[in-house]
Amino acid sequence: MRSNFLLGELVVTDSARVALGRDPLDLIARHAVNDHGLASLKQHKLNLKGYKEADEIVSVFHIDPTDHTKGRVIVVTAATWDKTTVKLEHE
């Protein structure tokens, strides 16, 4: 796999790790190749801009694809591309 942008330091919040029950390396990999999951059309446009201008890039994924009531996690690469964080949607 080759990332389309720099991910920087990888951080997973404790609450996201507990909710997922694992380290979300698969979600980080999807994010890195511009699979932004459930991100809105507006966010996709912002991500394209972020990709071109080294700005923030955001992806959204279900915690459990078989049970959408469990909520979502967000994968965010900071505007400086020095840090990528996986967190719960409302963190």
Give, for all 91 residues of the chain, the pLDDT tens digit: 567 789 999 999 999 999 999 999 999 999 999 999 999 999 999 999 999 999 999 999 999 999 999 999 999 999 999 999 999 999 9
> What span, in angstroms and rounded, lies between the C-alpha atoms of 74 and 53?
21
Stated pTM of the model? 0.93
Which domain range does residue 81 map to?
A: 9-88
> What span, in angstroms and rounded, lies between the C-alpha atoms of 65 and 74?
14
> What span, in angstroms and rounded, lies between the C-alpha atoms of 31 and 76?
9
Residue written as token pair 């990999």: 29
Q: State how many domains the chain has.
A: 1
Decide if 3 is inside a domain.
no
> What span, in angstroms and rounded, lies between the C-alpha atoms of 8 and 83?
4
Decide if 1 is inside a domain.
no
Decide if 2 is inside a domain.
no
Residue 61 identity: F
